[in-house]
Amino acid sequence: MDEKELIQKALKDRESFSEIVSLYYKEIFKYIYRRTLDKELSKDLTQEIFLRALKYLPSYKGKSLFIFWLLRIATNVINDHYRKEINENTFLKTTSNTYLNEQDSPEDQIDYEFIHKCMSKLSLREQAVITLIFFEHKNIKDAAFIIGKTVNATRRLYYRALTDLKKK
């Protein structure tokens, strides 16, 4: 059974949808974890992503790879989550208190956690672009599709994110 048939079947058949989950859960979870560095949160958000995917499955027309469609949902779910946190004023507090004072890490000891802390100061779209390009190994075109922007806008976003990261 090819992917399209499986998706078509998954509209009404739970087993088929479980198969889709098996195929993509790991990749989606990893993407979420790279954006959040929080396993519990990643677990919750991944669950939300697949439930959202189930809900909107009829709107998937097969114009892109299914994983890109899922990553697009994932990006929206993460952004929604952080926007909600920003509104509740908790995210900003955490980031400003914890991460800002830790920029004295020596360059040769740069690890993902430090990069993640720096990235958390970027806009949600910039974070998504950087994660997709450097840690999910997507090109600009695919990243553009996933974040729902044009290629040129995504390229501008990418360079702005790099410039902002330089300042951090």
Partner 1 sequence: MKRKNKEDTEKIENMLRSVKPPELANEEIESYKEDFNRVLQEEFSKVTVQREKKHVLKVKLTYGFAIFLLVFSLFSLMYIRPYLIKVATAKIINEQLKIKVALKDVIVKDGVGIVIYNYQEVVVNVSSEKVEVSQPVEYEPSEKERGQAIEIVRSSKEAKYFVAKEGEAPQDISKNDVVSVEGLIFPNSGKKLVEVSLAYTPTSYYYDSQLPSIPGSQPPLMTVKFTVDIEKGEIQP
Query: Which residues sit at the interface with partner 1, rule CB under 8 A?
Result: 11-12, 14, 17-18, 21-22, 25-26, 29-30, 33-34, 37, 39, 43, 46-47, 50-51, 54-55, 57-58, 107, 110-113, 115, 130, 134-135, 159, 162-163, 165-166
Nearer to partner 1, 42 or 82 (CB): 42
Q: Which of left, alpha, beta for 123 (phi over 0: left; psi -120 to 50: alpha)?
A: beta
**Residue 135 beta carbon to partner 1: minimum distance, rounded to whole angstroms:** 5
**Residue 14 beta carbon to partner 1: minimum distance, rounded to whole angstroms:** 4
**Residue 11 beta carbon to partner 1: minimum distance, rounded to whole angstroms:** 8
**Residue 154 beta carbon to partner 1: minimum distance, rounded to whole angstroms:** 15
CA–CA separation, 36 and 120 (whole Å): 9
Nearer to partner 1, 104 or 107 (CB): 107
**Residue 50 beta carbon to partner 1: minimum distance, rounded to whole angstroms:** 6
Nearer to partner 1, 56 or 153 (CB): 56
Give Cα separations from 44 to 47, 66, 67, 90, 99 (angstroms).
5, 21, 19, 18, 24
DSSP state of 135: I
Nearer to partner 1, 52 or 92 (CB): 52
Neighbours of 3 (CB within 10 A): 13
- Residue 17 identity: F
Give Cα separations from 63 to 24, 51, 69, 81, 82 (angstroms).
18, 21, 9, 27, 29
Number of residues written out for the chain = 168
CA-closest candidate to residue 38, choices 100, 95, 106, 88: 95
Nearer to partner 1, 151 or 162 (CB): 162
